[in-house]
Amino acid sequence: MTKTDHDVVIVGAGPVGLATARLLALRGHDVAVVERWPKPYPLPRAVHFDDEIGRVFGSMDLTRQIQGISDPVPDHYEWRNADGEALLRIDWSGRGPNGWPTANFFSQPQLEQVLAGAVEAMPNVTVIRGTEVVTVDEHPGQVVVGVADTAIDTAHAAPPSTVSRTLSARYVIGCDGANSLVRKRMGATMHDQGFFFDWLIVDTIPTDDIVWSPQNWQLCDPARPTTIVSGGPGRRRWEFMRLPGEDPAELGTVERAWELLSPWGRTPANTSLERHAIYTFAARWADRWREGRMMIAGDAAHQMPPFAGQGMCSGLRDAANLVWKLDRVLRRVSPPDLLDTYTSERSVHLQHAIAMSVELGKVICVLDPEQAAQRDARMIAGNADPAVVLPLTARPVLGPGAVRPRGELSGTMSPQFPVAVDDTVGLLDAATGYGALLILAVDRPAADLLDPTLRASLATAEVTALSVASVGSPDLRDCEGAWTAWLSANGVAAVLMRPDHYVFGTAASVDGTASLAAEYISCLSAGVA
């Protein structure tokens, strides 16, 4: 018999829903995931994640599994014009500040297989597939979710309308896509940027030994803007912009897909056509992501064009931000008001990703030859340097919430440089584990510097205090000098990092740690700094 009472019910078993379930279950909470499709969707959708999201996967204890199904980018990402001239080059090679490769490509079915396998193996997670959520009702102390078993197997099947049974939970999280029932039940409305373009997405499996160089690039040809990228190990993706007056039905045929692939040397003799579908790119986000005991994440909360590769990444940032707060609320060590910071923080950060995606789209989606020539001349004159030729957008920083309202680093993602503990060298998260951290730039143990009252306060707030230095006897040895350089460059001696690895705030000297800690503790109790 399926358990009906849970801490959290998650609607939707896509990457964001599964990741949220995994992160909550690792914290010891009882979770149910309800998915309307009886089996995981077998075809590609998302294909990219960055080093920050790699770090989120690492916090799920899935580093080895995710690296096994993803391709790090070995070179740069490039834009070219119709004549093959470089308009933009972005270095995607090497390791990013979060300790993972800067850019990674994957096939979503393989990713979901990893996430589902990890989640379904957990004793405190119940995954219910082939079941449609049809009602969500909040009551004092709980949310009641009405579900109906269904045999949905096509995107055109009508959803059931009769509740066959109910599940109850303290909270429900809608990871149920752009047409989210949970969002509608919350009464949230969408802010729409009015940015709409249709693109044909063609996913393939090449059967020859061709080497793609660069691996990922954008053809900025006004005759047909086209994206050519990895689709994960052994796969390639093409994205073709629909031109004005072009019939979507005709563009979406198998025959037209092969016609568009033909100039790229792709034929049925050397390529398997895995999927072709027309997507309408849009830019919008919900006005609120929490209402009482209901919350939304991922596509239920926002959609964006894919030009910056941040769609799924943004959803997984939602999960990381929400889970550490919900964990505290479920354990009753913080009040429910802390959850209000989820919308205020993530909405501002998310709008940066949308603005960046839209601005890139405005550059890419130029169809007028004269405007394209002007764009090309400007970008070539800028030596294809992204700092010169790309539109400037605001720095990605969390909005107001559980962050110190002053300081250059407040609300930004902290780095994850290697450290050594005894003779073991590894990334910061592997050395410290889950939870908030207070990092001090001193060459002796942090415990030697903090008075007993402060140590007790930090322990109550579940903050681990550690020192880092290249010399002396710190808790963490800065084996590459990267931590020392980063702290020095930012003029800080102490940095307090939240469990989702975002910087709460900093202090210019160790003497400032007491007030820094006090402000963090206050946020955990009241919600907004």
pLDDT tens, position by position, 20-36: 999 999 999 999 999 99
| Mean pLDDT of all residues in 83-88 | 95
pLDDT of residue 391: 79
Residue 390 pLDDT: 86
Please answer whether residues 284 and 190 qualify as being in contact, where contact means their C-beta atoms are separated by less than 8 angstroms. yes
Residue 154's pLDDT is: 47
**DSSP for 158-197?**
PPP-S--EEEEEEEEEE---TT-HHHHHHT--EEE----E
Local confidence band at 164 (pLDDT 50, 70, 90 cut-offs): confident
**What is the pLDDT, as a whole number, of residue 150?**
75
The pLDDT of residue 159 is 57
Tell me the pLDDT tens digit for each residue of 299-337: 999 999 999 899 999 999 999 999 999 999 999 999 999
Mean pLDDT in residue range 474-480: 96
Q: What percent of the chain has pLDDT over 90?
A: 90
Q: Is 301 helix (H, G, I), strand (E, B) or coil?
A: coil
Task: Give the mean pLDDT of the chain.
Answer: 94
Cα–Cα distance measured from residue 471 to residue 115, given in angstroms and rounded to the nearest whole number: 40
pLDDT score of 261:
98
What average pLDDT does this structure show over 504-526?
Answer: 94
Pick the closest to residue 296 from 330, 348, 350, 343 (CA basis): 343
- Which is nearest to 527 in space by CA: 382, 360, 380, 325? 325
pLDDT tops 70 at residue 237:
yes
**Which stretch of 390-394, 427-431, 459-463 has the lowest confidence by average pLDDT?**
390-394
Q: What is the pLDDT of residue 160?
A: 61
Confidence label for 156 from pLDDT (cuts 50, 70 and 90)? very low
Residue 75 is encoded by which pair of tokens?
Answer: 């070179």
pLDDT at residue 397 greater than cutoff 80: yes
Which of 64-68, 136-140, 160-164 is predicted least confidently? 160-164
Q: Are the C-beta atoms of residues 133 and 100 closer than 8 Å to each other?
A: no
Mean predicted confidence (pLDDT) in 228-255? 97
Could you tell me the pLDDT band of residue 498, with boundaries at 50, 70 and 90? very high
Give the global pTM. Answer: 0.95
Report the pLDDT averaged over residues 189-218. 93
Cα-only R_g, the chain? 24
**Segment 84-113 mean pLDDT:** 96
- Look at residue 407 and tell me whether its pLDDT is greater than 90: no
pLDDT at 395: 76
151 has pLDDT over 80: no
Give the per-residue pLDDT at 346.
Answer: 98
